[in-house]
Structure 1
Amino acid sequence: MRIRSFEPRDAGALAQLFHAAVHQIARMYYSRAQVLAWAPAVPDEARFRARAADGRTLLVAVDEADAPLAYGDVERNGHIDHLFCRPDVAGTGVTAALYTALEAAAVEQGIDLLFVEASEPARRFFAKQGFSLIERRDFEIGGVPIHNYRMEKKLGR
């Protein structure tokens, strides 16, 4: 496994990966209605290309054939918007390695605080990475109640 910057050809694989992660990993923590509200269909590839072009750092963990295993981003303000892995590699250390690379990129950019709205399964992951729980956030997507957790981590310099 290696970690590299996003390439436009990754967009389709990342869209599929996101959808699979929500439908196979998050479904263990959220109801079917919540999962369908969160990810009703595979997102348009253009959303991933646009993400990569808006100034955020978007990294991809890939296997020996350069196929994406996980991806994550950190925005210029320290917000981690996405951190998802393929369901078949969940719990293998791929996401932790990717997170470490994202944190290192944030430090290089002078970011001193990372923050995230973590899903139920991601909350445990981010806690292991040293994030503090700030609050549970209850909201709706398309009229379906769902929740996540605001978490943050101060980065040392």
Structure 2
Amino acid sequence: MPRHPAITLRDYHARDLQALVELLGAAVHRLGAADYDQAQRRAWAPAHADMPAWQTRLAALELLIAEDNRQLAGFIGFTRDGHIDLLFTAPQHARQGVATALYAAAQTRIHAAGATSVFTEASLTARPFFARQGFSVEQAQTVVRGTVTLQRFAMRKPLRPEIQGTPQ
């Protein structure tokens, strides 16, 4: 997997909210098109996002931002107990190592906080990425958004004590 040399990671700032929600929408609609139909993508990332709800959701997470020459390339949202809640890459930065760099940094922080595993609810699109990181599917899940259903997977990866927070 190629690495993008200009990618830098930084912490989230409140001013990033709009850009993160827009990136998520672009990722869902462009990168998720192979796995989810238009109605499913609209239910997952509606054209008019509920910004107060997103502000509340993001406030509960630790967030890392990936930038390429000050342009948003991706982000990850997680909790110190090991939950990877959000991981999205801008479509133009897909498959360039952005998600891998974000995940590795989050895993290091999670492991340092004492978590013994990391877990997520991966979309059909994200499932192969998480599998490459060492996650295993625990359960297939169906999410209902209005009248639309979406498939996802509960996935988990143990963090071994000898790893010392280094990506496996």
Equivalent in 41, 51, 63 of residue 68 of structure 2: 63
Cα-Cα RMSD: 1.5
For residue 99 of structure 2, the aligned residue among 70, 95, 107 is 95
Following superposition, the deviation at residue 124 of structure 1 comes to 0.2
- Provide the TM-score with structure 2 as the length reference: 0.86
Gaps of 5+ in 1: none
The question of 1:43 aligning with 2:49 is answered yes
Q: How is 1:2-151 mapped onto 2 (pairs within 5 angstroms)?
A: 2-54=8-60, 56-64=61-69, 66-151=70-155
- Within 1, Cα distance between the matches of 2:98 and 2:41? 23
Q: Secondary structure at the match of 2:110?
A: helix
Shift of residue 67, structure 1, vs aligned partner: 2.2
1:136 to partner: Cα distance = 0.9
1:84-115 CA distances to partner (integer Å, 9 max, x unpaired)?
Answer: 01001111111111110010110111111111
**Distance change >3 Å, CA 91–CA 156, structure 1 → 2:** same
TM-score, length-scaled by structure 1: 0.91
Change (3 A) 1:86 1:42: farther
Segments of 5+ residues of structure 2 without an aligned counterpart are 1-6, 162-168
Aligned length in residues: 155
Counterpart AA for 1:28: A
Alpha-carbon deviation of 1:146?
1.4
CA shift digits 1:1-49 (9 cap, x unpaired):
1111101121111011001001101111111111111111253444454
Between the aligned partners of 1:11 and 1:138, the Cα distance in structure 2 is 28
| Native 8 Å contact 1:57 1:105 kept in 2 | no
